[in-house]
Amino acid sequence: QVQLVESGGGLVQPGGSLRLSCAASGVTPYYYAIGWFRQAPGKEREGLSVITGSGSADYSDSVKGRFTISRDSAGFRDNAKNTVYLQMDNLKPEDTAVYYCAASSLAQLVWEDADEYTYWGQGTQVTVSS
């Protein structure tokens, strides 16, 4: 059974940092890409970053240079818990949103498209405010 659990959200001042974690169980690291999304009130869900099974990463223009994605496992073990991180630096008030991680096994993944992902976590709130 696939399960994604986010953690690490909270309240931070502008210019501060947070590290979000996505604990993924039931997914074989090599075959699943893990993406990070966020959704602010009244706005559509926005794709922020993705890391593929082979370790390639990509970012949206809105977070490039400020956010860094990484994962602590790789390979073919499908019963291993693996974690994907989103290090967020130089946070701005407009980064305030609920942040989600999601998993996709699609070979040709349009990573910014939320519909491409099968499994989602429950979300974690990030608030950037002084």
For 10-50, what is each residue's pLDDT tens digit? 999 999 999 999 999 888 877 889 999 999 999 999 999 99
Residues in the chain: 130
> For 110-125, how does the pLDDT look when each residue is reduced to its tens digit (9 = 90+)?
999 999 999 999 999 9
In whole angstroms, give the CA distance from residue 92 to residue 115. 27
Whether the predicted pLDDT of 81 surpasses 70:
no
Whether the predicted pLDDT of 79 surpasses 60:
no
Whether the predicted pLDDT of 65 surpasses 80:
yes
SS3 93: helix
Side-chain half-sphere exposure of 55, counting CA atoms within 13 A = 4
Strands 124-128 and 97-104, bridge-based pairing: antiparallel
Q: Give the residue carrying structure tokens 């349009």.
A: 110
